[in-house]
């Protein structure tokens, strides 16, 4: 059991093995992300994802499981969400608002990549349960290991609740990021890995310590 569960929600994305999923759940991570985007270095097939979800639910029913999709058909998203009984669906592509509205009944996390085309009003008005801000890249949809200007996320967090901060977060910078942005949650992927899709217990432990420190008001 974790010594202390962070007050700020933590999502670890790019889980590819049962062992890493259980490690995250044991540490007190609130949500794990399973990446169904075929172009991702952390792509996971539905069968393997099902094994992970079942293992986590059996031992840690309070840990949530999210499916990450990029410009996928609504039919496949809905089918996988039902088949795996996912707790959340994360849309990490160019899905328009009407796409999310069609996923009625799902907890939808919509990712916006912060770059020259980022539109705060579009993010604030998007019909999702949570908005995730990630770093823009011309080649990768996520897991870049690169940060962006956190003042952009802080501005959105002042307008809406449930802002999740992602993009290059590590044990070394997450405390400062939380204090600047004041998000409802943080999303980490490469920052707790030894290699793409292979999580590190030591890095995760230090990351969670940084989250706890970030959620504490300095004396």
Q: Which residues are catalytic?
A: 13, 134
63: phi > 0 → left, psi -120 to 50 → alpha, else beta; which?
Answer: beta
Contact (CB, 8 A) for 109 and 88: yes
- The CA distance from 195 to 133, in Å, is 23
- Under 8 Å CB-to-CB from 90, ≥6 apart: which residues? 33, 66, 67, 68, 69, 108, 109, 110, 111, 132
Angle between helices 46-59 and 18-27 (to 10 degrees): 30
Q: Which of 129, 143, 148, 117 is nearest to 91 (CA)?
A: 129
DSSP state of 190: G
- The CA distance from 93 to 141, in Å, is 7
91: phi > 0 → left, psi -120 to 50 → alpha, else beta; which?
Answer: beta
Look at the alpha carbons of 122, 127, 130, 132 in this order and tell me if their dihedral is positive or negative.
Answer: negative
Contact (CB, 8 A) for 165 and 153: yes
């Amino acid at each position: 059991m974790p010594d202390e569960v962070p007050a700020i929600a933590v999502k670890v994305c790019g889980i590819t093995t049962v062992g890493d999923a259980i490690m995250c759940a044991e540490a007190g991570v609130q949500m794990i992300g399973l990446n169904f985007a075929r172009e991702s270095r952390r792509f996971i097939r539905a069968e393997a994802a099902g094994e992970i979800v079942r293992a986590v639910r059996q031992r840690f029913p309070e840990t949530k499981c999210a499916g990450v999709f990029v410009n996928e058909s609504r039919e496949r998203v809905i089918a996988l969400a039902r088949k795996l009984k996912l707790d959340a669906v994360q849309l990490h592509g160019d899905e328009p608002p009407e796409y999310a509205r069609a996923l009625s009944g799902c907890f939808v996390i919509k990712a916006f990549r912060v770059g020259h085309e980022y539109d705060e009003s579009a993010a604030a008005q998007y019909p999702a349960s949570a908005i995730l801000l990630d770093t823009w890249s011309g080649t990768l949809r996520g897991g870049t290991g690169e940060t962006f200007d956190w003042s952009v996320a802080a501005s959105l967090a002042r307008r809406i609740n449930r802002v999740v901060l992602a993009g290059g977060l590590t044990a070394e910078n997450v405390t400062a990021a939380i204090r600047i942005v004041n998000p409802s949650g943080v999303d980490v992927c490469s920052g707790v890995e030894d290699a793409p899709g292979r999580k590190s217990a030591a890095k995760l432990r230090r990351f969670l310590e940084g989250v706890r420190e970030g959620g504490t008001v300095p004396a």
